[in-house]
Structure 1
Amino acid sequence: MLKKSKRLMVVASLFLIFSLVFTAAAQAEVKNIILMIGDGMGIGQMDMTRYMAGDKDYKLEMMKMPNVGLMMTSSTEGVTDSAAAGTAMATGNKVYNGAVAMNKNGAELDSVLDFAEVRNKATGIISTNMVTDATPATFAASVKDRGMGGEIAKQILDNDVDVVLGGGREDFMKEEAGEDLIAKAKKMGYQYVTDKEQLKRVMPMNGKVVGLFNDSYMNYIKDRDDLDSKEPSLLEMTTKAIDVLSEDEDGFFLMAEGARIDHAAHAADVPGVVAETLDFDASIKYAVDWARENGNTMVVVVADHETLGFSVTEPINKEALMNIEVSPEYMAGKLVETESGNAYTIDSIQRVFKEYANLELTEREAREFNSNIVNEDDGSLYYQYKVGWQIGSIIAKKNNVGVVAADVRAKSDTGGHTLNSVPIFAFGPETEGFNGVIQNTEFSKVLFEAMRP
């Protein structure tokens, strides 16, 4: 990893060349950029949310934004993962799946967040996943593999990102990072918070904050009451981030990710997708309202890719689905293992489906479920989240949800991502560049150009 000063010298040189080329057609620099990424959120997830939360003609807030485009989503391997997708959007380069702002030759790729720092803007990343996960990482770090969470956490601090909010506390600990990065952040002047009440008390004029609200990814919205969670919503994190970053007179760049839309979609979890998308949409409304009031602010809403081919079918059982109050992952945690440890008891499988999804599974169906949650290599049970995928797929099938089938998902290296194009919605100055159909590598060009003087 290049030291920040060296990386920014490279970016600054490119920036100077870029500026000279476009001097003749120069427009006023956009002061603030708020980029909202709904991970895995294709048109199907949006339509599912608006139909389930409203009716067939209901519009989400993002759908009211004036400029609309469509973005293609491939990586160099075809169907993309979030790391390659984020890299394309953040840097303008297609890479292999798993790469975080780094090409196949090991060269680091500078992002729009790096570019914002050259312009002396404050910067921030937010995610309802881990802040070290693929999408936020592509804006603030460069590593060869998305699984290098400790190294990504180091680079986030070394790159002096001003606001860092989300999950992923374990990657900032000595066991993962090789040093106590939370202690380091405090010495660097960051305010450090761990729950939503502490976040509310953050003083914007102090300028820098790290909020890590879970050791791993943040809990699903629908599970938080049952888990007695003290985590903030994406709306609460976005509100505080804008409060802090807007103190910078040179402006700011903020990337806020509604990450668990994707996780819910992997599990074919309709009520989960709806809840996570509504939280994302509320954050968008706040950002647009703030931009409208304060001016000279670009707000862009996009997904990195689509997950599991969601669609609203004619026979979908809306009422039954929206009566489900917890995630399939939560349900998986209520199953009881057999003494052998390589299956769940038939009774607990039937009880969980009945109690949480109001579905009656036959003994044969319960045994089939058991056969689909075992690793072929060693006979061990899937991790809880992947057991949740199987639970969600059964619920979806029995309620006539339009999604990729579980057996097709099982053959997918990405766990069910598709090549489907995704919508772009934008508000504010210079957002006309998002109109039309673009490649994911063209996405960042509009952001780069918006920040030139």
Structure 2
Amino acid sequence: MKNATTLILILSLLVSSQVYAQEDYKDIHTKHEYTIEQKHEVLDIDYDAIRFKKRPKNIILFIGDGMGVSQVFSGITVNDGLNMEQMPYVGFIKTQSADNYVTDSGAGGTAISTGTRTYNGAIGLDVNGNRLTTILEYSERNGKATGLVSTSAITHATPASFIAHQPQRSMYEDIAGDFLETEIDVFIGGGADFFTKRVDGRNLVLELSEKGYHVGYNVDDVSGVTSGKLAVLTAVAHNPGYRDRGEMLTKSTAKAIEVLDNADSKGFFLMVEGSQIDWGGHQNDASYVTGEVLDMDKALAEALKFAMQDKRTLVIVTADHETGGMTVNNGDPKKGFVKTGFTTGNHSAVMVPVFAFGAGAEEFIGIYDNTEIFEKMYKLFKFKEEEKDN
């Protein structure tokens, strides 16, 4: 009995240490000024000259976790423009969850992915614990290829809310197991330990390989993979911040689009998360926030270029919530400088922006609930109403 109790204690400590490691980005650093290290080129797009289809065959959804208007404008200021500005249809979503005026990423992601508001911490479940069907799962049902890309662990709240169904966002190993219950075509992000160093002893990487996935641990290592099933676990837990991970998000986005576009399918759905904008907000760190916005904007260029060429693709950029209560107090676009302020180390309750580009983009203007992102995508994909789960 003593040995069994000791074993349970050790396993509990291992799980709790993993959970803490997933949340250790929330310490406040209080850095309110930022000067850009290197500006990136913004696409020059004549939107009116492109003839997009009325409905999309493909949807690429970017979620800037924690990205409000001030986060976007800090990027516009220091880079003297963003690719987001090339997206002509703009709206705002209200982010409240079912049980809290201030949402978390689990409830915020679930609202966007399923069209249903739920309690903070939930992943793909409603307030009563019932399983919800996500836009990714509806896409699979309807013959579309699917993908997820994230700069966090792929098991973190936002990407998890598109593929997993768990009562708490901290159940990272259970969330990793949910990936094996789907036919997702591509996923790229951190979190390798939740697939291999598990309490239950399963090796999900081996199981993925047996299911036909090409498994890699660096985007450059899979440069030759252009089709088929692809899983790239880019870090043991979260990926490093933008200064240290290089072009990981841009390369991952381009690779996911390439593989999904080559799939023998009726189009594709891809969600790309700029996860660490949120972490910079938690830390009240203007350099972290703004650098991560710029990093996601560079990846966005890959999607916009594809949409212009394809003409059947819708690109959406939004957020699950704002983090930090951030303001832009001063700046100088010529010097690439911004000075910010923060009101909290947590999430705020303000509306967040929506930018849309391509086939069906005009549907995303106005002010509406976050659940409408799902509803608009569902209708534009022409999924039949009778297919919806009750």
For normalisation by structure 1, the TM-score amounts to: 0.69
What residue is the counterpart of 1:155 in the other structure?
A: 178
In 1, distance between residues paired with 2:251 and 2:145? 19
Q: Structure 1 residues 87 and 434, CA, compared in 2 at 3 Å: closer, same or farther? A: same
Query: Offset of 1:321 from its aligned partner?
Result: 10
Q: Please say if 1:428 is aligned against 2:351.
A: no
Q: Can you give the 5+ residue segments of structure 1 that lack an aligned partner in the other structure?
A: 1-26, 323-398, 410-415
What residue is the counterpart of 2:78 in the other structure?
A: 52
Match of 1:168 among 191, 202, 209: 191
Task: Please tell me whether Structure 1 or Structure 2 has the larger radius of gyration of its CA atoms.
Answer: 1
In 1, are the aligned partners of 2:78 and 2:335 still within 8 Å (CA)?
no
Query: Offset of 1:312 from its aligned partner?
Result: 1.2
> 1:140 aligns to what SS in structure 2?
coil
In 2, distance between residues paired with 1:176 and 1:161? 24
In 1, distance between residues paired with 2:295 and 2:127? 36
Q: Please say if 1:95 is aligned against 2:118.
A: yes
What residue is the counterpart of 1:208 in the other structure?
A: 229
In 1, distance between residues paired with 2:240 and 2:200? 23
Letter in 2 for 1:67: Y
| Residues 189-208 of structure 1 aligned to structure 2 (within 5 Å) | 189-201=212-224, 203-205=225-227, 207-208=228-229
Q: Please say if 1:72 is aligned against 2:94.
A: yes
In 2, are the aligned partners of 1:233 and 1:279 still within 8 Å (CA)?
no
Query: Offset of 1:209 from its aligned partner?
Result: 0.7
> 2:328 aligns to what SS in structure 1?
coil
Q: Structure 1 residues 31 and 320, CA, compared in 2 at 3 Å: closer, same or farther? A: closer
What residue is the counterpart of 1:34 in the other structure?
A: 60
In 2, distance between residues paired with 1:285 and 1:319? 22
Task: Kindly report the root-mean-square deviation, in angstroms, between the aligned alpha carbons of the 2 structures.
Answer: 2.1
Which contiguous aligned blocks of 4+ residues in structure 1 show a shift greater than 3 angstroms?
Answer: 316-322
Q: Please say if 1:451 is aligned against 2:390.
A: no
1:278-306 CA-to-partner distances (Å, cap 9, x unmatched) read 11001111101101101211111101100
Q: Please say if 1:218 is aligned against 2:239.
A: yes
Query: Offset of 1:127 from its aligned partner?
Result: 0.5
What residue is the counterpart of 2:327 in the other structure?
A: 311
> 1:217 aligns to what SS in structure 2?
coil
Letter in 2 for 1:71: I
Which structure has the higher relative contact order (CA within 8 Å, separation 6+)?
A: 2
1:159-183 CA-to-partner distances (Å, cap 9, x unmatched) read 1111010111111124246410011
Letter in 2 for 1:236: K
In 1, distance between residues paired with 2:348 and 2:199? 32
| Residues 13-412 of structure 1 aligned to structure 2 (within 5 Å) | 30-54=56-80, 59-76=81-98, 77-176=100-199, 178-201=201-224, 203-205=225-227, 207-222=228-243, 224=244, 233-248=248-263, 249-314=265-330, 401-404=340-343, 408-409=344-345
Q: Structure 1 residues 319 and 174, CA, compared in 2 at 3 Å: closer, same or farther? A: same
1:369-417 CA-to-partner distances (Å, cap 9, x unmatched) read xxxxxxxxxxxxxxxxxxxxxxxxxxxxxx963112xxx53xxxxxx10
In 2, distance between residues paired with 1:299 and 1:94? 23
> 1:281 aligns to what SS in structure 2?
helix
Q: Structure 1 residues 157 and 233, CA, compared in 2 at 3 Å: closer, same or farther? A: same
1:340-367 CA-to-partner distances (Å, cap 9, x unmatched) read xxxxxxxxxxxxxxxxxxxxxxxxxxxx
In 2, are the aligned partners of 1:72 and 1:420 still within 8 Å (CA)?
yes
> 1:142 aligns to what SS in structure 2?
coil
In 2, are the aligned partners of 1:39 and 1:260 still within 8 Å (CA)?
yes
Letter in 2 for 1:214: A
In 2, distance between residues paired with 1:48 and 1:301? 16
In 1, distance between residues paired with 2:63 and 2:281? 15
Q: Structure 1 residues 443 and 279, CA, compared in 2 at 3 Å: closer, same or farther? A: same
> 1:89 aligns to what SS in structure 2?
helix
Letter in 2 for 1:180: N
What residue is the counterpart of 2:369 in the other structure?
A: 439
In 1, distance between residues paired with 2:287 and 2:54? 43
In 1, distance between residues paired with 2:200 and 2:148? 19
In 2, distance between residues paired with 1:244 and 1:208? 8
In 1, are the aligned partners of 2:59 and 2:269 still within 8 Å (CA)?
yes
In 2, distance between residues paired with 1:287 and 1:177? 38
Q: Structure 1 residues 264 and 33, CA, compared in 2 at 3 Å: closer, same or farther? A: same
In 2, distance between residues paired with 1:434 and 1:319? 32
In 2, distance between residues paired with 1:319 and 1:449? 43
| Residues 4-15 of structure 1 aligned to structure 2 (within 5 Å) | none
In 2, are the aligned partners of 1:167 and 1:216 still within 8 Å (CA)?
yes
Q: Structure 1 residues 232 and 433, CA, compared in 2 at 3 Å: closer, same or farther? A: same
For normalisation by structure 2, the TM-score amounts to: 0.80
Q: Percent same amino acid among aligned pairs?
A: 36
Larger strand share, 1 or 2: 2
In 2, distance between residues paired with 1:293 and 1:167? 30
Q: Structure 1 residues 321 and 171, CA, compared in 2 at 3 Å: closer, same or farther? A: farther
In 1, distance between residues paired with 2:88 and 2:171? 39
Query: Offset of 1:273 from its aligned partner?
Result: 1.5
